[in-house]
Amino acid sequence: MESAPTRTERFDRLFAAHFDEVRAYAWRRDPATADDVAAESFLVAWRRLDDVPADPLPWLIGVARNVRLNALRSERRRAALDARLARTAAQEAVEPEHWVSEDVGAALAALSERDREVVLLAAWEGLDTAGIARALGCSRANASLRLFRARKRLAALLDDPAPAPIGGASDAC
Amino acid sequence: MPAEAVLELLRRNDPARGLEPLDAAARERVRAAIVAAPLPRPRPRFGRAVLVAAVAAAVLAAGGWTLYKAVFAGPTAQDVRSDFARVTRTIQLPPGARWRVPNLDEQGVYPGPQARIIALLQATCAWFAYWRTGDAGERASALSAETRIRGLMPVHREGMSEDAGGFDATSFQAYDAIVAAQRRGDPAPTAVYLRANC
């Protein structure tokens, strides 16, 4: 009879299976902090191992997102308090034009931050709507609706790069 | 472009497609450092019978989920909202200011002092704004309140996980610098803070 895996063994499996994906998630958003964000995210996973669900990637992405946003908020506080803030944290958080072809980057930059986040989680992290909902902490229906809208908006922006009114949604997702 | 083609276009433009994995040695260092990190505080060591009795009594008295959540899990969004309601009763805002209920991810991961941090950041915004527009008496009130707020800020010490939350040393230094500027009558750092954070 096989004995139950130890805590370390369970963690090692999680780490082996998903560290690269979490690091890639963080790298896509900010290469400079990717390794730190990935390590910090798995430290959270180690401490909360019993909370990790059967499908762990969306949960891990959600943790990495929170780690990244916490770090950004912390950096923003420091920068603001030092009176040296040139850009908002939201601008710092996403600079897709640095990562992709010029037209795609410009279209992504024209999306609202929330729309961009949803569409990139689907495209780059390969999450389905249930996974996006888990990562962002919103309902599946909300994630589905937001992804649908974001894809349409991005498609329209790619067809017509001129600034177009982009409806801002105020739901929690 | 059809909306269906958008995700495929983004996948072709994935900046991480050529990302090299961390080399094995660095990866192992990360893994080893994590599993060597201390785990959350263990439950107190009771005798087995005492523990069983205590758990059973608690389950009957308070509900198993509440106990599980309190002992094993971090605060949920609902916990943070409840804590926020409690914490805000202990922090004074300037006249005319109102607390804003935090907008939280329902399945988010929150550090223990999240509610207090949110409340203190809101209070900081409110008092900084009050100072900026206030007369001499109101500015004195604001400075006094800002000192009290600083004393309530949870400390995030060097080396602690971001997961722990709190204000680090540089945040305290910078906060102090803004308040010092206010005492000199210099509104510029306050204005920058308000513009960036509030």
pLDDT band at B26 (very low <50, low <70, confident <90, very high): very high
CB neighbours of B119 closer than 8 A, spacing ≥ 6? B84, B87, B88, B91, B99
Q: Nearest-CA residue of chain A relative to B8?
A: A123
Q: Which of B30, B58, B73 is the last residue of a domain?
A: B73
Inter-chain CB proximity B2 and A155 less than 8 Å:
yes
Residues B155 and B178 in one domain: yes
Domain ranges of chain A: 1-93, 96-163
B193 or B110: which leads in pLDDT: B193
Residues in chain B: 198
Q: Is B1 inside a domain boundary?
A: no
- Which of A82-86, B118-122, B137-141, B174-178 is the least confident region? A82-86
Inter-chain CB proximity B189 and A83 less than 8 Å:
yes
Q: Nearest-CA residue of chain B relative to A89?
A: B196
Question: In chain A, which residues have pLDDT < 50?
Answer: 84-94, 96-97, 163-172
Task: Give me the CATH code for the A96-163 domain, please.
Answer: 1.10.10.10
Q: What is the mean pLDDT of chain B?
A: 79
Domain count of the fold of chain B:
2
**Which one of A36, A40, A77, A117 makes the best mutation probe of the B interface by having the most chain B beta carbons within 10 Å?**
A77
Residues B94 and B55 in one domain: no
Cβ contacts (< 8 Å) between A138 and chain B: which residues?
105-106
Q: Is B2 inside a domain boundary?
A: no
| A40-88 tens-digit pLDDT | 999 999 999 999 999 999 999 999 999 998 888 777 776 666 654 444 4
Q: Is B67 inside a domain boundary?
A: yes
The pLDDT of residue B65 is 44
The pLDDT of residue A166 is 41
For residue B59, what are the domain limits?
Answer: 43-73
| CB-neighbour burial class of residue B2 (10 A; exposed 0-12, middle 13-18, buried 19+) | exposed
Q: Is B9 inside a domain boundary?
A: no
A1-93 sits in which CATH class? mainly alpha
Judge whether A96 and A108 are in contact, CB under 8 Å. yes
Report the gap between the CA of B39 and the closest CA in chain A (Å): 6
What average pLDDT does range B28-34 have in this prediction? 94
How far are the Cα atoms of A116, A128, A132 from residue A141, in angstroms, in the given order?
A: 17, 12, 10
Task: Indicate yes or no: pTM above 0.80.
Answer: no
Q: Is B19 inside a domain boundary?
A: no
Cβ contacts (< 8 Å) between B16 and chain A: which residues?
24, 27-28, 124
| B62-84 tens-digit pLDDT | 454 444 444 445 677 888 888 89
ipTM of the complex: 0.78
What residues 72-131 of chain A have any CB closer than 8 A to a CB of chain B?
74, 76-83, 85, 88, 99-101, 104, 119-120, 122-124
B189 or B72: which leads in pLDDT: B189
